Amino acid sequence: MFDSGVGGLSVLSACKRELPNVSFLYLDDGENRPYGDKSREEVIDISEKCVRRLIGAGCNAVVVACNTATACAVGTLRKRFPTLPIIGTEPAVKPALASSDGKVLLLATPLTAKLKEYSDRVIIGEERTLASEIERVYPNPYKLAELAHAVENKYRGFSSIVTGCTHYAHLIPYFTRPVFDGADGVAKRLKNLLL
């Protein structure tokens, strides 16, 4: 499993809950942090290097625990490593839309926000620095709460929040609206592939 920092730890936690007897290796790619402000080609190159490192360490499946890397690179990675199960992390937009008739706020890095079309019921909250800010204050709960409240108050007209970056999952306990996160879906997909 890899991400550009602490964001993917939320995915790792979900996977450990779903697969308690599986051994995990987590690659925190702090050297290339953050991914969200890089070009698509850079993220593909970085992601391929991470996958090669994980294969070299003996991993027999890879979780791309980053929404930006998934949006940019997962298709290319699956072509380049056709025998390796590779699971990406997608924003939980569909469940959020299904749970409400109102609008949902998708918090995402600039690159993730640009790579996919969304329903007109989705408000795109393009956050340029939020992942880096979370990385800087993690694991301080008071600072995380401040970030969550500032982000939530920045946008209007939504009934729920979708985390479109795994870093943003660390703000979930501090949001006041319902939050939809893709980590549990990743864990279930990994379980289906491995068992």
Q: CATH number for the domain including 57?
A: 3.40.50.1860
For the chain, the domain total comes to 2
Query: Is 59 assigned a catalytic role?
Result: no
Same domain (yes/no): 12, 25: yes
Residue 50 is among the residues annotated as catalytic for this protein: no
**Other residues' Cβ atoms within 10 Å of the Cβ of residue 179:** 22
Q: Is the pTM of this model over 0.85?
A: yes
Does one domain contain both 14 and 60? yes
What per-residue confidence (pLDDT) applies to 115? 86
Which of 15, 50, 72, 165 does the annotation list as catalytic? Answer: 165
How confident is the model over 107-153, as pLDDT tens digits? 999 988 888 889 999 999 999 999 999 999 999 999 999 999 999 99
- 3-state DSSP helix/strand/coil percent for the chain, to nearest 5? 50, 15, 35
Q: Find the catalytic residue in 50, 59, 66, 72.
A: 66
Question: Please, which pLDDT band fits residue 96 given cuts at 50, 70 and 90?
Answer: very high
